[in-house]
Amino acid sequence: MADANEDPTIFTAHSLPSDPRLWATVTNAYLGTRVYHDTLHVSGVYNGAGRDTHRAVLPSPLNVQLEAPAGTGEQLTKTFTLNTNTGSFLHTLEDSSFRAAQCIYAHRTLPHVLAFSVSLSRLAAGGGPITVLLQAAFSPESPDLDLHLGPDFQGARYLYGHTLTPEQPGGAQQEVHMLWTPVPPALTLGEAEEDRTWEFLAVVGSSQAEAQACLTEALRLQAGGTLYTAHAQAWAQLWAGCGLDVAGPLALRQALRGALYYLLSALPQPGIPGYICHGLSPGGLSNGSREECYWGHVFWDQDLWMFPNVLMFHPEAARALLEYRIRTLAGALDNARNLGYQGAKFAWESAGSGLEVCPEDIYGTQEIHINGAVVLAFQLYYHSTQDLQLFQEAGGWDVVHAVAEFWCSRVEWSPGEEKYHLRGVMPPDEYHSGVNNSVYTNVLVQNSLRFAAALARDLGQPVPERWLVVADKIKVPFDLKHNFHPEFDGYEPGEEVKQADVVLLGYPVPFSLSPRVRRKNLEIYEAVTSPQGPAMTWSMFAVGWMELKDPRRAWGLLEKSFANITEPFKVWTENADRSGAVNFLTGMGGFLQAVLFGFTGLRITRTGVPFDPMCPAGVSGVCISGISYQGNMLDFSFCEDSVTIEIRDCAGPWAPPLEVELWPSQARLPLPPGHKVSFPRSAGRIQRSLPQEAEAASCSPRTFC
């Protein structure tokens, strides 16, 4: 959407950052590491008891650096490139006589496989052999695993073992089995050769049989010369199916591409069967060893900050994230019982069991707002997909019901105010603990209970009267004098807050606010939000100002997020001073939402997908491809004077025909598959067609991916 010379998809440098935490990650849905890092992690494999549980460290055979031998003579040109198109990291060495390239990747369609290749090419005629060195630092040891060397298999070395300490007493010690191609100290291009490529594999499974089967499949592709091709083609297919770009500054386009790339890297390839999700942690699968990046635990970050983006582009993966919450419901039920309440209290920090594993009691006990974020994710998924099976048969209803029961047991009636109170909580603003009636938390209580009641009706379940009574009568603090929402009872304007809190009301939390109150909330909290707060904060302020049609102020707030993006590989840090979690998917998730939902005004609701697009200062157009809504895949783009919507594909005859209703005219335009529909820029809603339009715009069976 800009000058063809400005490619926002490839990030290149001539040296690596001095801080190794900021090196590019190599991740798929099952395995994760950083380039030239001695550690890799396996999804769902934790070691340590209770609050000491953390991602188990597995030594990485991919920690191999390409070097030219001493005395090469001519000065070498070095480049380090992250190519988001192919999901690969490339290190090159080049002079006038040869080019050496090392390509590192986590295989997209074989998630148990990490690989790297080295290619040598002769650039000048004649000459003798060309040799490059491979500096490997591999030791078959781990602080978290009892590891043993086993017999080789098809030329690969074998390492196996199990975690030392299960998360819960009596729990299973998780097995890990790894096969890898031995790496020689040097590679040589013979005197008669013009070019040659060597490939090296690392394969991890939960059993010897699984590891051997995955290696066998990888070797089959390798023998046919298609191992890397299959990976790169899968990434090409993924990008063909979804995308987010703007006509605007290159830095913004690169930031969006990088954020979407890292988030997609953590998800399975659409259509790959058998994926079991173990949750998304703030630092992703490349991080989370003991004492780093929250130890790989799963927070509200997954449900509130990452999930809406995943749902829009990849509903299969969105469902898998919800299935993680369903599988850990037993732990959430125990958490509530341990605190003396009914229903389920999802852990502030969760690992394998769903029991609370936060090292500090205060957060696990008080940050109960995570329950509201979990239910909001189920709510968005339901409205977006109408996937009744998840709720009727796969446990989704059990989660929603259990959270509603928790809220009703946790509130207390105040006879003086004739309102339900929620006492002794910590809001998202972690500078304040033990407060009463966090407005953010209480609004989420309302939202959870009302969704639970609506879902119960849809499923033919009884609706407990108490749910609706609590929803209607819970206190939502409001200061009539200053016309804003105090963060909690007793909050005084001017008190510093850590991060986005009250400003989350309206978006991402559904809550009706007048423009005057929305503006006041934004103005009051913008002035007192800590500049040391986490990366996702300013994105939500930007969404608020977009709602109020103040594009200049929105851009000014969004621009603050760039302080958390590091060069050259667009790795985010939790805090602007580079502290906290790295490869901070939470911050990336907030940033993506600022464009995906903020610039467009898109919202996922029970009645459809409203939109109200506006370009912020410096941006003249937005293009989003591959939005998924109720089995339809559509593209949504707009510029300063027009909007274009096209249904690109649909899942089959069950996918409902859609139309767009324009506001305020209420004109309705059918959206027949394969046809672009354009109209002057205005607000409106994408919705199911009414019966008379349904036949004309019916959707024939198609492949949906």
Listed residue (568, 440, 575) closest to 508, CA to CA: 440
- End-to-end C-alpha distance for the chain, whole angstroms: 24
**Residue 9 · residue 570 · CB < 8 Å:** no
**Residue 112 · residue 106 · CB < 8 Å:** no
Amino acid at 394: A
Give just the sign of the alpha carbon dihedral 444, 445, 449, 455: positive
Cα angle vertex 342, ends 338, 344, to 5°?
A: 75
In 3-state terms the chain splits into helix, strand, coil percentages (rounded to 5) of 30, 25, 40
Say how far apart CA 698 and CA 695 lie, in whole Å. 5
Given the residues 430, 487, 526, 646, the one annotated as active site: 430
Q: What is the DSSP string of 97-141?
A: SEEEEEEEEE-SS-TTEEEEEEEEEE-SSS---EEEEEEE---S-
Q: What is the DSSP string of 352-385?
A: SS-S---SSHHHHHH-TTHHHHHHHHHHHHHHHH
Other residues' Cβ atoms within 10 Å of the Cβ of residue 75: 7
- Token pair, residue 211, equals 């590891």
- The yes-or-no answer on residue 393 being catalytic is no
- CA dist 144 → 13, 55, 171, 239 (Å): 35, 9, 16, 37
Other residues' Cβ atoms within 10 Å of the Cβ of residue 24: 28
Buried b (16+ CB within 10 A) or exposed e, 638-667: bbeeebebbbbbbbeeebbbbbbbbeeeee
Which residues are catalytically annotated? 430
